[in-house]
Amino acid sequence: MSNTVFIFPGQGSQKVGMGKDFYDNSALAKEMIETASERVGFDFKHLLFEENENLEQTQYTQPAILLVSLIAHRLFTEHSTVAPIALLGHSLGEFSALSATGAMDYLDAVELVYRRGLLMKQACEGINAGMMALLGLDDESVEAITCKERESGKKVWAANYNGDGQIVIAGNKDDLASLESVFKDSGAKKAVLLAMSVASHCPLLISAQAPLETYLDQWMKDAFVAPIISNVTASAYQAKTEAKHLLSEQLVSPVKYKQSILHVEDSVDMFIEFGGSVLKGLNKRITQKPTHSIVDMKSLEEVLALF
């Protein structure tokens, strides 16, 4: 049996129609979507399957992605005995991993990330928060530039290490926009503001930490069937006390996705991504190990056939 790591996508992987094939062809998926709708008080069928503005709002984006990821995971585990050697996710995806490893009921996880999104939105109200994608600069250059600019009063931080030459920064939107030419003069091929109204994984979210820890303490169990690789440290944890601290720190710390993949690369034969294919694309830039994505019933069957 091959050594497998389960991975879960974060914000940016959402799109209208995600999970529809699961809903149409699986009684389990239909039940999970309908039960989750009852839990949080809004209709996931409308959110996921019909054109709407809510899917791009973080308090709705987060539970939508998590729910589809956990449906893909449940359908896979219903037909496979493959046990991962570890799990990891990109930002929000770490909460999907937490549920998939048994540390949180999926309905509790849906409500938790809905509330996490609200906390993030509230933390960023009135501060003109935003994020910017950078292509073509190495980590050290981005860190040096953002550090220098913070010393001059600008609010800008490295937020996501997605791969070599692919970093997202977060902070005040005007400050980010003012640095576009600085990054390009330093060798960036692109410096593009993202359509986001929150500044994830930077100190602007500090007010969300304490209430998030309260929710984690309320809903999380100390029952991990496999370790999770932390976004904050790129190292494994497998206990509630560690999870509470690390997932709180994740709000204000950069996502070390590239480092997390490299941490497990030598011990893994393949990665399986549940509910999206964005991480499959990122992994092509990081590792030679294959990544297989489960996004519908056809891809589910294809991945099951590998074992």
**Selected catalytic residue, list 69, 91, 230, 293:** 91
Dihedral angle at the C-alpha atoms of 259, 261, 265, 271, nearest 10 degrees? 180
Nearest to 13 by CA among 294, 256, 230, 252: 294
Active site residue 91: yes
State the burial class of residue 292 (Cβ atoms within 10 Å of its Cβ: 0-12, 13-18, 19+). middle
Active site residue 178: no
One-letter-per-residue 3-state SS of the chain: CCCEEEEECCCCCCCCCCCHHHHHHCHHHHHHHHHHHHHHCCCHHHHHHCCCCHHHCHHHHHHHHHHHHHHHHHHHHHCCCCCCCEEEECCCHHHHHHHHCCCCCHHHHHHHHHHHHHHHHHHHCCCCEEEEEEECCCHHHHHHHHHHHHHCCCCEEEEEEEECCEEEEEEEHHHHHHCHHHHHHCCCCEEEECCCCCCCCCHHHHHHHHHHHHHHHHHCCCCCCCCEECCCCCCEECCHHHHHHHHHHHCCCCECHHHHHHHHHCCCCEEEEECCCHHHHHHHCCCCCCEEEECCHHHHHHHHCCC
**Selected catalytic residue, list 13, 69, 200, 201:** 201
What the block records as the tokens of 169 is 């920064």
Dihedral angle at the C-alpha atoms of 219, 223, 226, 232, nearest 10 degrees? 40
Catalytic sites, residue numbers: 91, 201
